C-alpha cells in the first residue's frame, strides 16, 4: 500500500535559474535550499529540484510514490517486470528513494520517509 504520489523531482542544470522560475510559479520560497537539492511544499505536494539529476540518468521529472517499506515495494515491482534503476539510497535524514523503469521505459520512483 502507498500513501500516494506525493513528491515530484525535476532534474535541472542551472539551480539558480530553476529556483527563480519555480519560486515565481509557486509564489513561495523553497523550504529546503541547498547546493544539491531545492525543495518546495505546495498544496500538500513536495516538489524538488535536483542539479545532479542528469548525472543520475534523469531525463525528465520523476514522480515518487510514498511507501512504508521501500525494499518490499521495490522487490514486488521487479518481480512484476520492472527493472531496478536505482537501489534504495538514503538522501538525508533516513529518507530512502529508489527508482525502476517499466516495460515502456517510464521511470517510477519510490520514497520511504
Using CB atoms within 10 Å of the CB of residue 79, give its burial: 0 to 12 exposed, 13 to 18 middle, 19+ buried.
exposed
What domains appear along the chain, each with residue ranges and CATH number? 2-112 (3.10.180.10)
The answer to whether 57 and 107 are in contact (CB under 8 A) is no
The answer to whether 38 and 52 are in contact (CB under 8 A) is no
16-64 residue pLDDT tens: 999 999 999 999 999 999 999 999 999 999 999 999 999 988 999 999 9
Asked whether the whole model's pTM tops 0.95, one would answer no
Paired sense of beta strands 45-50 and 2-11, if any = parallel
62: number of Cβ within 10 Å: 23
Of 46, 53, 37, the residue nearest 111 (C-alpha): 46
Amino acid at each position: 500500500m502507498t500513501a500516494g504520489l506525493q513528491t515530484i523531482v525535476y532534474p535541472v542544470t542551472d539551480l539558480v535559474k530553476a529556483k527563480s522560475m519555480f519560486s515565481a510559479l509557486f509564489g513561495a520560497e523553497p523550504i529546503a535550499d541547498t547546493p544539491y537539492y531545492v525543495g518546495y511544499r505546495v498544496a500538500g505536494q513536495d516538489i524538488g529540484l535536483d542539479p545532479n539529476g542528469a548525472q543520475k540518468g534523469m531525463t525528465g521529472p520523476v514522480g515518487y510514490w510514498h511507501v512504508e517499506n521501500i525494499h518490499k515495494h521495490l522487490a514486488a515491482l521487479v518481480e512484476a517486470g520492472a527493472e531496478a534503476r536505482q537501489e534504495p539510497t538514503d538522501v538525508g535524514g533516513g529518507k530512502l528513494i529508489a527508482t525502476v523503469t517499466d516495460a515502456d521505459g517510464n521511470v517510477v520512483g519510490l520514497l520511504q520517509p
